[in-house]
Amino acid sequence: MKAMIWKELRENFKWAVLAMLGLGMAEIYALNQRQFFNYYVQESETLCKASFLMATTFGCALVGLILGFVQILPEQRRDQWAALLHRPVPRGVIFRGKAAAGFLLYLFATIPPYLACVWYVDTPGHFAAPFVPGMVAPGVADICAGAAYYFAALFVGLRRGPWFGSRIFGLLAAVYVSFFVTDNYQPAYVSVEASLIMALALFAAAWGAMLSNGLLRVQPWLSRAALLAVVFYGVCAAGELMNPILNSVAPLNWYYGSEYIVDIDGRPLKEVNNKDVPPTFFDLAGNPVQDERLTKGNSYRYRLGFAGASSYIGDPHGMHRGGYSEGYRAASTYIWQSQEVPSESWYYLPGERIFTGFKTQSRTLIGTIGRDGFQPGAPSAPPLNDGITVSPDWYASNLPLFEQIGQTVCHLDLDERKITPVLSSSDSKIFGVSGLESYQNDETISDLAAVALLPEIRIIDKTGNVFATLPYHQDMDHYGRVSVAVKPTKDRFFLRYSPSRWINYWEAQKMPQYLEEMDAHGTLLNTYTLPPIPQPGGPETWYEYIYTNLQTPALYFGELAYVKIGDLLGSERLAGEAKDMFERSWNRTKDVAIRITLTSLVFSIITLVWARRLLFSWERALAWAAFVLAFNLAGLITFRLVADWPVLVKCPSCGRKRPIEENLCPHCATGWPARKPEGTEIVDSVALTP
């Protein structure tokens, strides 16, 4: 195998070098794109910038495909392929040698450019932002996903059959990995694991294709299982690719609808949005409101912006305080940027729990702020005390506040480089802090903050002075989700009460909301009841209904079991999902489970009848029917693409169809008749005499 590896390295090294140079230039250009024309991108994004992640996502996949195809397709010409297979070594050794060499070349083409970009970001003077190690994860996941594309290219080149059959679905299996990796709903390590598992599956499927001539039953059991998995996920990827097309013809019942707003005059209004027409407004009595400020131009300047003070106030009923992560591919998961100080860029690093600043022009480090205060020129500092949570909108506000849950609200003064406690609460837990914004003279004013306590909302400025105290007038156990707004004149405040997070979603949709208007002294001026607004579009659309019914039972019930077992074992991460699936949305969970089971049962019966008509044995037919029962429509398509379909011919004895590879007819148990003499036989049959 060593000779095969060296042969492949010598022949394909030049392609790996070209791929490395091309990918490296694309990644470096994407990192520096902001310097030329993409000014809206924050300097802090670096390795999580959209343009850079596009380069790593598509670049690594393209490199994997190119290296796989140039390694296998030129040798598919008959003479070269025959010469390759006539080497005095088994086919498996040839394949492993080619795959090992190609994988090394892929790593050589993708890892050095990415390491160079990491070094470029980490080196001082290139970016006015700190280097956060966690931001390396998205690129690593993309490199692992690209490995799946390399083995997909081998699979496509080695698999026998038409391109529109199982071969193309092997390539789509790698595309499915890209969908999964670019999804922010799972941790980075899960994306890496999924990419490597799919790469191994494609490797095993390509190995089986090398050993056989396309038949499933002659392959080793490992390659057969891998082939089923690869084609199945390829079918899933085809469904994902069809989503935009189906969404374009399906009604968008989630986009258009109504909502309640409060304009800058303090009027609560109902806004009704319809397709292709300007929004219309009504007061709470249902009377039309004609106001061009709201229907033309930038209407958001003429409506109050509500800031979420807390998702629940009081008893959380087992709910955990939510984090602010937007996914492992989002820069805001690792670094929050503030533009409060001119010519300086300040950041909060959630992982390190420190603040750090840079000179914007020279891109040099100013220092860090941590538990011990400001440290000039220091790349790190002792982290903030445990229990301190930074408000997620501090970087978007001119009032950077953060809270120490249950104790103190602090103000970070970046000009003075210090942290100042501005509000302490010893008699009530602090449930949240949020900056308040309003438009005034075409500018956004943000110099007040709302602090959610158990008995009231306190409005404070950056020095800690209490500007207003707003007591609650609703049942905070059920209406603990409170948002706050202030008029530009700062003489009127509005509290909006919504159902708490712990309440069942479907129950919350039937509950009204409440709006209270108060002055700075907390005097209640008006209370408005906001009736629940039905979800736009009503029930599921035909597209959503079909999509739900075609879910895979094995994966759906597997996820339910995984969440339930994790909850029973004490996993905090899965506790909320379990509560949602098995308590708040149990009727929905049960309904979906019944629907996908019945749909899969119908496809399973179709598979059984189909297989028996093709003269599959009962054992094979029942095995495929069970497979389709577990994997729904995707399983049925996999059966059509992967199963060994017999060639049927007319039986000379009974006239019915029989498989050409079987010695006996399954209908009449007759063998193949002897061939009639044609006079060209070399040896004539002579009767034996004693």
Q: What is the pLDDT of residues 303-318, one digit of tens each?
A: 888 888 887 788 887 7
88 three-state secondary structure: coil
Other CB atoms closer than 10 Å to residue 523's CB: what's the count? 10
Residue 126 and residue 120: Cα distance in Å, rounded? 7
In one letter, which amino acid is 607?
T
- Domain map (residue ranges) of the chain: 2-249, 335-437, 542-642
**Token pair of 128, please?**
């006015």
626: pLDDT strictly greater than 70: yes
* pLDDT (0 to 100) of residue 566: 86
Residue 256 and residue 238: Cα distance in Å, rounded? 28
Band the pLDDT of 440: cuts 50, 70, 90: low
Q: Averaged over 140-148, what is the pLDDT? A: 95
Band the pLDDT of 568: cuts 50, 70, 90: confident
* pLDDT (0 to 100) of residue 392: 52
CB-neighbour burial class of residue 620 (10 A; exposed 0-12, middle 13-18, buried 19+): middle
The secondary structure of residue 163, as a DSSP letter, is I
Under 8 Å between Cβ of 615 and 666: yes
Closest alpha carbon to 62 in 183, 167, 166, 178: 178
Q: What is the dihedral of CA 102, 104, 108, 114, to 10 degrees?
A: 100
* pLDDT (0 to 100) of residue 686: 52
Start-end of H helices in 167-326: 168-181, 188-211, 221-249, 292-295
* pLDDT (0 to 100) of residue 295: 75
**pLDDT, the chain, mean:** 83
Other CB atoms closer than 10 Å to residue 555's CB: what's the count? 15
Residue 238 and residue 465: Cα distance in Å, rounded? 59
Q: Averaged over 89-115, what is the pLDDT? A: 90
**Token pair of 631, please?**
């994997």
Band the pLDDT of 39: cuts 50, 70, 90: very low
Band the pLDDT of 494: cuts 50, 70, 90: very high
Closest alpha carbon to 231 in 176, 178, 169, 175: 169
**Token pair of 54, please?**
């596009």
Q: What is the pLDDT of residues 391-400, one digit of tens each?
A: 555 444 555 5
Band the pLDDT of 343: cuts 50, 70, 90: confident
* pLDDT (0 to 100) of residue 442: 59
Strand partners, 282: 270, 288
Closest alpha carbon to 188 in 271, 132, 235: 132
End-to-end CA distance of the chain: 58
* pLDDT (0 to 100) of residue 80: 64
If you search the block for the tokens 């849950």, which residue do you land on?
405
Q: Averaged over 529-552, what is the pLDDT? A: 77
Band the pLDDT of 544: cuts 50, 70, 90: confident
Other CB atoms closer than 10 Å to residue 441's CB: what's the count? 6
Under 8 Å between Cβ of 105 and 12: yes
How far from 483 is each of 362, 499, 554, 636, CA to CA, in Å? 40, 12, 41, 50
How far from 429 is each of 42, 230, 315, 463, CA to CA, in Å? 35, 52, 11, 20
Higher pLDDT, 199 or 374: 199
* pLDDT (0 to 100) of residue 37: 41
598: pLDDT strictly greater than 90: yes
Other CB atoms closer than 10 Å to residue 59's CB: what's the count? 26
pTM over 0.75: yes
If you search the block for the tokens 């169809």, which residue do you land on?
657
